[in-house]
Amino acid sequence: MKSFDTVVDHIQKTYNTKNFIPLHVPRFRGNEKAYLLDCIDSTFVSSVGRYVDRFEEMMAKIANTERAVAVVNGTAGIQVALRLAGVSSRNEVLTQALTFVATANAIIYNNANPIFLDVDLDTMGLSPKAVSDFLNANAELREDGCYNKVTGNRISACLPMHTFGFPVHLDELIAICNKWNITVVEDAAESLGSMYKGQPIGSLGKFGVFSFNGNKVVTSGGGGTIVTNDVQLAEKAKYLTTTAKKPHKFEYYHDELGYNYRMPNINAALACSQLEQLQEFLIRKRELAHEYAAFFSSKGIKFRTELPNTKANHWLMCIELADKKERDSFLETTNAQGVMTRPIWQLMFRLPMFQNCQRDSQKNAIFLEERIVNIPSSVR
């Protein structure tokens, strides 16, 4: 078994401290305080204000989409995006078990069911081959869409998650889903700034959804965004997330089930300043990733990096260890010495609320679950 004390030493030197080193913390080095004070002085601290509008404009430009709609968090954004993609009660959504629980939760919030399919080893994200194999074996096309022959339910959407900011094989996945009349919604919660063949992640599916939680590359404390090139659906998203209230000078009339999901102006003020620093953050994270890659290569440990024709944002950087025993030894050694490291998520089908969901063999997901560890990735 390897000794990982040299890894601890290297990370301590990287961050120039022997104190506790967390996995990922935000950096506030710009106009955050000025914008927050301006927002407070304006008294518009809730879901209406100029920072919300500015944030949406900035995000549409970054994502290279026609519109962006600010929401309270990424989970809420996925829930609404799936609804607008046509997901309704008893429908099914193809997704991956190797993901954060919010991906699967958002499907359930629409009274739909996830189908967990395997990931690719190279991207750690939803595998186009796994999707194709499942559909060829279990699905049929009807006049009104794709149906699961096993359950009889309509498969209305596909929800790939770009794990740790590494893009999935989107061209292949979208082509397969188009063939089967299935709408692609990108869970881009971890992928702000990542690129696929020169296009921003989040811009290739019908919708893309980002998170601005406190541990993301850019944070608004809590927040999310839905991006899309469909202007009408963007207006619908804004309407639904504003409690589906019909505009009126004084009357309160809501004509369908809506959500109180709009991002507050005070969070948007923080996000605007953070987005101004996005490119600098990405450059610094890329520098750190290159340093880590060289170091871990010298130690015979695989450092996960981007594939050709993609550009990762290096949100949470990770290594791949030999097996679960070595993984557990690494976790024990680093955390005992104040260097926070974390295993990848437990697979969704292992959780009690998802144990009965349909799935495939999950061969690659299980392999990665036993080996992948996140390491400190904060911007220095």
Contacts of 367 by beta carbon, 8 Å cutoff, 6+ apart:
121
Q: Does the predicted model carry a pTM greater than 0.95?
A: yes
Strand partners for 207: 185
Ranges of the chain whose pLDDT falls below 70: 1
Query: How far is C-alpha 302 from the geometric centre of its chain's CA atoms?
Result: 23
The pLDDT, as a whole number, for residue 326 is: 97
8-state DSSP, 16 = T
Alpha helices in 64-169 (DSSP H): 74-84, 101-109, 128-138
8-state DSSP, 321 = -
Alpha carbon distance 317, 4 (integer Å): 17
Phi/psi region, residue 331 (left: phi>0; alpha: psi -120 to 50; beta: rest), is alpha
Alpha carbon distance 58, 50 (integer Å): 12
The pLDDT, as a whole number, for residue 16 is: 98
The pLDDT, as a whole number, for residue 2 is: 74
Q: Each residue of 29-64: b (16+ CB within 10 Å) or e?
A: eebbeebbeebeeeebbebebebbebbbebbbebbe
Element at 51 (helix H, strand E): helix 50-63
Domain 32-276 has CATH 3.40.640.10: yes
Give 46-98 pLDDT, tens digit per residue: 989 999 999 999 999 999 999 999 999 999 999 999 999 999 999 999 999 99
């809730």: which residue's tokens? 46
The pLDDT, as a whole number, for residue 194 is: 98
Q: Where are the domains of the chain?
A: 32-276
The pLDDT, as a whole number, for residue 1 is: 54
Q: For residue 377, what are the CA distances in angstroms to 115, 117, 172, 218, 290?
A: 31, 28, 30, 13, 12
The token pair at 265 is 């102006």
Give 261-314 pLDDT, tens digit per residue: 999 999 999 999 999 999 999 999 999 999 999 999 999 999 999 999 999 999
3-state secondary structure of 142: strand
Q: How many CB atoms lie within 10 A of CB 10?
A: 18
